[in-house]
A and B are shown apart, each in its own frame.
Chain A
Amino acid sequence: MPDINIIFKIAGVGILISILNMVLKQADKEEQAQMLTLVGVVVVLLLVIQLIQRLFHDVRAVFGL
């Protein structure tokens, strides 16, 4: 996956989540807003964990750890 896309994806999810949270707060659905934040963090975490897995694999290969 071209690496620059990952940054755009994470930033997009972040911005989307913050906007939707504002909308939900207007509509007095506070708990849904919290749920949405959780969903956002989980999605971004999955993306980042794949990246970290690639990082550790490559570092292990290069440095012979």
Chain B
Amino acid sequence: MDLGVFLGIVLLAVVFLSLLRQTRPELAVLLSVAAGVIIFLRLIGPLQELVRTFEFLATQAQINLVYLQIVFRVMGVAYLTGFTAQICRDAGEGALALKLEMAGKVIILFLAVPVLVAILESVLRML
């Protein structure tokens, strides 16, 4: 997992993208999507270990795992939404990107509702 792999992939993709933008813009969008996905697929391994260490720390600290899972879900939704929204912006579709981000925010709020309820309950119990 060294930086060189990512630099190589990105620089290569940039060169081909500059070539493709003039002649075939639609293929350029697909190439940028492919490069983005490749980079993330290489990050899966380390990301998995990070998640496992966080879960281990949470069990050590007797934190309820449900909340940690909600945090990871929110991170997953945020990452995917941001990834796709940026691709839409690269392709020139700013409006679509905004709508997608709005949808992502609603989903994240929807996921966070149980945590809010839990916090309110604990606060009320203290009063």
Contact = CB atoms under 8 A, between A and B. Distances in A.
Contacts, number: 101
Interface in B25-48: 26-28, 30-31, 33-35, 37-38, 40-42, 44, 47-48
What bracket does the count of chain A residues touching chain B fall in?
Answer: 20 to 34
Interface in A23-65: 37, 40-41, 44-45, 47-48, 51-52, 54-56, 58-65
B44 A14 contact: no
Contact of A45 (B30, B41, B47, B77): B30
Interface residues of B, number: 34
Interface of B: 8-9, 12-13, 16, 19-20, 23-24, 26-28, 30-31, 33-35, 37-38, 40-42, 44, 47-48, 51, 69, 72-73, 75-77, 79-80
Q: Enumerate the 6 nearest inter-chain pairs by beta-carbon distance, A residue then B residue, closest first.
A: A63-B76, A18-B23, A11-B16, A14-B27, A3-B38, A51-B37
